Amino acid sequence: MEKPFLTVVVPCYNEEEVLSESVAQLTNIIQKLVMSESISNKSQIMFVDDGSKDKTWELIQQYSESNEHVSGLKLSRNYGHQGALLAGLTEAHAYSDCVVSIDADLQDDVNAIIEFIEKYHEGYDVVYGVRDKRDTDTYFKRNSALAFYRIMSKLGVNMVPNHADYRLLSKRALTEFLRYKEENMFIRGIVPLLGFKSTKVFYNRNERFAGESKYPLKKMVLFAVDGITSFSVAPIRLLLVIGSVIFMIGVVMGIYAIAQKIIGAVVPGWTSLIVSLWLIGGIQLIGIGVLGEYIGKIFKQVKERPRFTIEENVFEMKCKENKINER
Protein backbone atom coordinates (compact mmCIF):
# COMPACT_ATOMS: atom_id res chain seq x y z
CA MET A 1 0.00 0.00 0.00
CA GLU A 2 1.33 3.42 -0.96
CA LYS A 3 2.16 5.63 2.00
CA PRO A 4 0.07 8.84 2.17
CA PHE A 5 1.64 12.12 1.14
CA LEU A 6 1.12 14.54 4.04
CA THR A 7 1.29 18.32 3.74
CA VAL A 8 1.44 20.42 6.90
CA VAL A 9 0.12 23.90 6.09
CA VAL A 10 1.52 26.67 8.31
CA PRO A 11 0.22 30.25 7.81
CA CYS A 12 2.91 32.81 8.69
CA TYR A 13 2.81 36.56 9.22
CA ASN A 14 5.99 38.21 10.59
CA GLU A 15 7.17 34.97 12.21
CA GLU A 16 10.95 35.31 11.81
CA GLU A 17 11.47 34.95 15.58
CA VAL A 18 9.72 31.60 15.80
CA LEU A 19 10.32 30.13 12.34
CA SER A 20 13.54 28.24 13.11
CA GLU A 21 11.93 26.46 16.05
CA SER A 22 8.78 25.73 14.02
CA VAL A 23 10.90 24.15 11.28
CA ALA A 24 12.85 22.08 13.81
CA GLN A 25 9.83 20.75 15.70
CA LEU A 26 7.69 20.03 12.65
CA THR A 27 10.59 18.39 10.78
CA ASN A 28 11.13 16.15 13.80
CA ILE A 29 7.48 15.07 13.68
CA ILE A 30 7.64 14.39 9.93
CA GLN A 31 10.77 12.30 10.36
CA LYS A 32 9.17 10.26 13.15
CA LEU A 33 6.16 9.55 10.95
CA VAL A 34 8.39 8.62 8.02
CA MET A 35 10.43 6.27 10.22
CA SER A 36 7.24 4.56 11.41
CA GLU A 37 6.17 4.26 7.75
CA SER A 38 2.98 6.20 8.47
CA ILE A 39 3.54 8.76 5.69
CA SER A 40 5.56 9.19 2.51
CA ASN A 41 9.18 10.30 2.87
CA LYS A 42 8.39 13.06 0.35
CA SER A 43 5.85 14.70 2.69
CA GLN A 44 6.10 18.48 3.04
CA ILE A 45 5.75 21.32 5.54
CA MET A 46 4.32 24.24 3.57
CA PHE A 47 4.92 27.64 5.19
CA VAL A 48 2.53 30.23 3.71
CA ASP A 49 3.95 33.74 3.93
CA ASP A 50 0.95 36.05 4.28
CA GLY A 51 2.62 39.26 3.11
CA SER A 52 5.11 39.44 5.98
CA LYS A 53 7.10 42.64 6.43
CA ASP A 54 10.09 41.01 8.12
CA LYS A 55 12.45 38.26 6.87
CA THR A 56 9.92 35.44 7.08
CA TRP A 57 9.97 34.64 3.35
CA GLU A 58 13.77 34.81 3.11
CA LEU A 59 14.00 32.30 5.95
CA ILE A 60 11.41 30.02 4.33
CA GLN A 61 13.46 30.02 1.13
CA GLN A 62 16.65 29.17 3.05
CA TYR A 63 15.02 26.30 4.90
CA SER A 64 13.43 24.96 1.71
CA GLU A 65 16.91 24.71 0.17
CA SER A 66 18.49 23.00 3.17
CA ASN A 67 15.58 20.85 4.37
CA GLU A 68 13.96 18.32 2.03
CA HIS A 69 10.67 18.49 3.94
CA VAL A 70 10.27 22.28 3.92
CA SER A 71 8.64 24.28 1.14
CA GLY A 72 6.75 27.53 0.93
CA LEU A 73 4.11 29.69 -0.63
CA LYS A 74 4.41 33.46 -0.88
CA LEU A 75 1.25 35.53 -1.20
CA SER A 76 1.42 38.85 -3.01
CA ARG A 77 0.09 40.74 0.03
CA ASN A 78 -1.51 40.20 3.41
CA TYR A 79 -4.82 38.32 3.07
CA GLY A 80 -5.32 37.52 6.75
CA HIS A 81 -4.95 34.24 8.60
CA GLN A 82 -7.99 32.57 7.02
CA GLY A 83 -6.95 33.70 3.54
CA ALA A 84 -3.43 32.35 3.99
CA LEU A 85 -4.77 29.07 5.34
CA LEU A 86 -7.17 28.77 2.41
CA ALA A 87 -4.34 29.43 -0.05
CA GLY A 88 -2.22 26.70 1.54
CA LEU A 89 -5.05 24.17 1.56
CA THR A 90 -5.92 24.95 -2.05
CA GLU A 91 -2.35 24.44 -3.27
CA ALA A 92 -1.84 21.34 -1.12
CA HIS A 93 -4.95 19.69 -2.55
CA ALA A 94 -3.43 18.73 -5.90
CA TYR A 95 -0.62 16.63 -4.43
CA SER A 96 -1.66 15.56 -0.92
CA ASP A 97 -3.47 12.53 0.45
CA CYS A 98 -4.07 14.35 3.73
CA VAL A 99 -3.40 17.84 5.07
CA VAL A 100 -2.76 19.15 8.57
CA SER A 101 -3.10 22.86 9.35
CA ILE A 102 -1.29 24.44 12.31
CA ASP A 103 -0.15 27.93 13.32
CA ALA A 104 3.52 28.85 13.35
CA ASP A 105 3.61 30.09 16.96
CA LEU A 106 3.95 26.53 18.40
CA GLN A 107 1.11 27.03 20.88
CA ASP A 108 -0.57 23.93 19.44
CA ASP A 109 1.27 20.77 20.48
CA VAL A 110 2.95 19.44 17.33
CA ASN A 111 3.09 15.95 18.83
CA ALA A 112 -0.66 15.66 18.33
CA ILE A 113 0.04 15.34 14.58
CA ILE A 114 1.26 11.78 15.21
CA GLU A 115 -2.14 10.92 16.69
CA PHE A 116 -3.85 12.76 13.81
CA ILE A 117 -2.16 10.40 11.36
CA GLU A 118 -3.09 7.37 13.46
CA LYS A 119 -6.73 8.44 13.31
CA TYR A 120 -6.40 9.01 9.55
CA HIS A 121 -5.19 5.42 9.12
CA GLU A 122 -8.17 4.27 11.18
CA GLY A 123 -10.43 5.76 8.51
CA TYR A 124 -11.26 9.23 9.80
CA ASP A 125 -11.53 11.99 7.20
CA VAL A 126 -11.53 14.88 9.67
CA VAL A 127 -9.51 15.00 12.88
CA TYR A 128 -9.98 18.01 15.15
CA GLY A 129 -7.26 19.18 17.50
CA VAL A 130 -9.12 20.25 20.65
CA ARG A 131 -7.59 22.08 23.58
CA ASP A 132 -7.88 20.08 26.79
CA LYS A 133 -7.88 23.28 28.88
CA ARG A 134 -7.36 27.03 28.42
CA ASP A 135 -5.01 27.78 31.33
CA THR A 136 -2.62 29.76 29.11
CA ASP A 137 -5.34 32.24 28.13
CA THR A 138 -6.19 35.41 29.99
CA TYR A 139 -9.47 35.49 31.95
CA PHE A 140 -11.04 37.75 29.32
CA LYS A 141 -9.94 35.67 26.33
CA ARG A 142 -10.99 32.40 27.94
CA ASN A 143 -14.49 33.61 28.84
CA SER A 144 -15.06 35.56 25.62
CA ALA A 145 -14.15 32.43 23.63
CA LEU A 146 -16.62 30.34 25.62
CA ALA A 147 -19.30 33.01 25.11
CA PHE A 148 -18.64 32.95 21.35
CA TYR A 149 -19.09 29.18 21.17
CA ARG A 150 -22.34 29.43 23.15
CA ILE A 151 -23.67 32.15 20.85
CA MET A 152 -22.79 30.16 17.73
CA SER A 153 -24.47 27.09 19.22
CA LYS A 154 -27.64 29.07 19.98
CA LEU A 155 -27.64 30.31 16.38
CA GLY A 156 -27.58 26.71 15.17
CA VAL A 157 -23.96 26.68 13.97
CA ASN A 158 -22.30 23.31 14.56
CA MET A 159 -18.82 24.15 15.85
CA VAL A 160 -16.30 22.17 17.88
CA PRO A 161 -15.64 24.02 21.17
CA ASN A 162 -12.00 24.83 21.98
CA HIS A 163 -10.96 23.97 18.44
CA ALA A 164 -9.20 26.60 16.32
CA ASP A 165 -7.56 25.71 12.99
CA TYR A 166 -5.48 22.74 14.11
CA ARG A 167 -6.94 19.79 12.21
CA LEU A 168 -6.38 17.05 9.65
CA LEU A 169 -8.41 16.74 6.45
CA SER A 170 -8.29 13.74 4.16
CA LYS A 171 -8.13 14.14 0.39
CA ARG A 172 -11.87 13.72 -0.11
CA ALA A 173 -12.73 16.01 2.83
CA LEU A 174 -10.45 18.70 1.42
CA THR A 175 -11.95 18.26 -2.06
CA GLU A 176 -15.43 18.82 -0.64
CA PHE A 177 -14.25 21.75 1.49
CA LEU A 178 -12.84 23.55 -1.55
CA ARG A 179 -16.28 23.46 -3.20
CA TYR A 180 -17.35 26.16 -0.75
CA LYS A 181 -16.73 29.46 -2.52
CA GLU A 182 -17.58 32.06 0.13
CA GLU A 183 -15.65 35.30 0.00
CA ASN A 184 -15.71 35.48 3.80
CA MET A 185 -14.52 31.96 4.52
CA PHE A 186 -15.21 30.96 8.15
CA ILE A 187 -13.31 27.68 8.06
CA ARG A 188 -14.10 26.54 11.61
CA GLY A 189 -17.79 26.60 10.82
CA ILE A 190 -17.56 25.06 7.36
CA VAL A 191 -15.50 21.95 8.19
CA PRO A 192 -18.22 20.43 10.46
CA LEU A 193 -20.68 20.87 7.56
CA LEU A 194 -18.72 18.39 5.43
CA GLY A 195 -20.31 15.48 7.24
CA PHE A 196 -17.47 12.98 6.86
CA LYS A 197 -16.36 10.63 9.62
CA SER A 198 -14.59 12.74 12.25
CA THR A 199 -12.97 12.49 15.65
CA LYS A 200 -11.10 14.63 18.17
CA VAL A 201 -7.57 14.60 19.53
CA PHE A 202 -7.09 16.45 22.82
CA TYR A 203 -3.87 18.29 23.66
CA ASN A 204 -2.50 20.91 26.04
CA ARG A 205 -1.83 24.34 24.56
CA ASN A 206 1.60 25.87 25.12
CA GLU A 207 2.71 29.44 25.64
CA ARG A 208 3.66 31.27 22.45
CA PHE A 209 7.31 30.40 21.72
CA ALA A 210 8.28 33.92 20.58
CA GLY A 211 6.88 37.09 19.07
CA GLU A 212 3.45 38.63 19.59
CA SER A 213 -0.06 37.32 19.01
CA LYS A 214 -1.45 38.11 15.56
CA TYR A 215 -4.99 38.10 16.99
CA PRO A 216 -5.46 41.22 19.13
CA LEU A 217 -8.89 42.14 20.50
CA LYS A 218 -9.95 44.05 17.37
CA LYS A 219 -9.23 41.08 15.08
CA MET A 220 -10.94 38.68 17.49
CA VAL A 221 -14.11 40.80 17.44
CA LEU A 222 -14.07 41.07 13.63
CA PHE A 223 -13.48 37.32 13.38
CA ALA A 224 -16.49 36.65 15.65
CA VAL A 225 -18.68 39.01 13.61
CA ASP A 226 -17.59 37.27 10.40
CA GLY A 227 -18.45 33.90 11.90
CA ILE A 228 -21.90 34.95 13.07
CA THR A 229 -22.92 36.78 9.89
CA SER A 230 -21.50 34.05 7.63
CA PHE A 231 -23.71 31.35 9.14
CA SER A 232 -26.85 32.95 10.51
CA VAL A 233 -29.49 35.56 9.71
CA ALA A 234 -30.48 35.64 13.39
CA PRO A 235 -29.16 39.22 13.89
CA ILE A 236 -31.55 40.49 11.18
CA ARG A 237 -34.44 38.55 12.71
CA LEU A 238 -33.54 40.02 16.10
CA LEU A 239 -33.87 43.49 14.58
CA LEU A 240 -37.36 42.56 13.38
CA VAL A 241 -38.32 41.45 16.88
CA ILE A 242 -36.89 44.62 18.47
CA GLY A 243 -38.64 46.78 15.88
CA SER A 244 -41.96 45.02 16.53
CA VAL A 245 -41.63 45.45 20.29
CA ILE A 246 -40.81 49.14 19.93
CA PHE A 247 -43.75 49.58 17.55
CA MET A 248 -46.11 48.05 20.12
CA ILE A 249 -44.67 50.29 22.84
CA GLY A 250 -45.20 53.25 20.50
CA VAL A 251 -48.84 52.30 19.97
CA VAL A 252 -49.41 52.06 23.73
CA MET A 253 -47.66 55.39 24.35
CA GLY A 254 -49.72 56.98 21.55
CA ILE A 255 -52.98 55.82 23.13
CA TYR A 256 -51.76 57.06 26.50
CA ALA A 257 -50.84 60.48 25.06
CA ILE A 258 -54.23 60.86 23.37
CA ALA A 259 -55.99 59.92 26.60
CA GLN A 260 -53.94 62.44 28.54
CA LYS A 261 -54.79 65.10 25.95
CA ILE A 262 -58.51 64.38 26.23
CA ILE A 263 -58.56 64.65 30.00
CA GLY A 264 -56.35 67.73 29.89
CA ALA A 265 -53.51 66.32 31.98
CA VAL A 266 -50.71 66.99 29.51
CA VAL A 267 -47.58 68.37 31.16
CA PRO A 268 -44.97 69.75 28.73
CA GLY A 269 -41.63 67.98 29.07
CA TRP A 270 -38.59 67.12 27.07
CA THR A 271 -37.10 64.15 29.00
CA SER A 272 -39.37 61.50 27.52
CA LEU A 273 -38.95 62.99 24.06
CA ILE A 274 -35.15 63.04 24.22
CA VAL A 275 -34.98 59.51 25.65
CA SER A 276 -37.29 58.25 22.90
CA LEU A 277 -35.26 59.95 20.18
CA TRP A 278 -31.98 58.54 21.46
CA LEU A 279 -33.45 55.06 21.91
CA ILE A 280 -35.09 54.88 18.48
CA GLY A 281 -32.13 56.57 16.77
CA GLY A 282 -29.66 54.15 18.37
CA ILE A 283 -31.68 51.11 17.36
CA GLN A 284 -32.00 52.44 13.82
CA LEU A 285 -28.23 52.89 13.54
CA ILE A 286 -27.62 49.40 14.91
CA GLY A 287 -30.11 48.04 12.40
CA ILE A 288 -28.45 49.84 9.52
CA GLY A 289 -25.07 48.52 10.70
CA VAL A 290 -26.25 44.89 10.87
CA LEU A 291 -27.89 45.12 7.45
CA GLY A 292 -24.75 46.78 6.10
CA GLU A 293 -22.65 43.85 7.34
CA TYR A 294 -24.73 41.41 5.29
CA ILE A 295 -24.94 43.69 2.26
CA GLY A 296 -21.17 44.17 2.41
CA LYS A 297 -20.67 40.40 2.26
CA ILE A 298 -23.01 40.16 -0.73
CA PHE A 299 -21.12 43.03 -2.39
CA LYS A 300 -17.79 41.22 -1.99
CA GLN A 301 -19.22 37.87 -3.07
CA VAL A 302 -20.86 39.00 -6.32
CA LYS A 303 -17.64 40.62 -7.58
CA GLU A 304 -15.98 37.17 -7.50
CA ARG A 305 -12.48 38.53 -7.03
CA PRO A 306 -9.67 36.03 -6.37
CA ARG A 307 -9.49 35.15 -2.68
CA PHE A 308 -5.68 35.18 -2.79
CA THR A 309 -2.83 35.74 -5.23
CA ILE A 310 0.32 33.63 -5.16
CA GLU A 311 3.60 35.36 -5.91
CA GLU A 312 5.98 32.40 -5.49
CA ASN A 313 5.24 28.69 -5.14
CA VAL A 314 8.16 26.63 -3.84
CA PHE A 315 5.78 23.84 -2.76
CA GLU A 316 4.64 23.01 -6.29
CA MET A 317 8.21 23.18 -7.57
CA LYS A 318 9.38 20.69 -4.91
CA CYS A 319 6.49 18.33 -5.57
CA LYS A 320 7.36 18.27 -9.26
CA GLU A 321 11.06 17.76 -8.51
CA ASN A 322 10.13 14.84 -6.24
CA LYS A 323 7.84 13.51 -9.00
CA ILE A 324 4.76 13.64 -6.82
CA ASN A 325 1.80 13.08 -9.12
CA GLU A 326 -1.29 15.24 -8.86
CA ARG A 327 -4.00 13.25 -7.11
In the 8-state DSSP scheme, what is residue 74?
A: E
pLDDT computed for residue 261 by the predictor: 62
Q: How many CA atoms does the CB half-sphere of 77 hold within 13 Å?
A: 4
Give the domain ranges of the chain: 6-214+307-321, 234-303
* pLDDT per position as a tens digit, 207-256: 765 555 555 555 566 656 665 666 666 676 676 677 767 767 766 766 76
- Give which of 63, 68, 62, 19 is closest to 40, Cα–Cα: 68
* Helix residue ranges per DSSP H, 101-216: 112-121, 139-154, 171-177, 187-190
Given a contact cutoff of 8 angstroms between Cβ atoms, the answer to whether 214 and 111 are in contact is no
CA–CA separation, 117 and 107 (whole Å): 19
Q: What is the dihedral of CA 81, 82, 87, 89, to 10 degrees?
A: 110
Confidence (pTM): 0.75
Architecture of domain 6-214+307-321: Alpha-Beta Complex (3.90)
Q: What is the mean pLDDT of each run of 10 residues along the chain (327 residues)?
A: 90 92 95 94 95 93 94 92 92 94 90 95 94 65 65 68 88 93 80 90 75 56 61 66 70 66 61 64 73 74 80 90 79
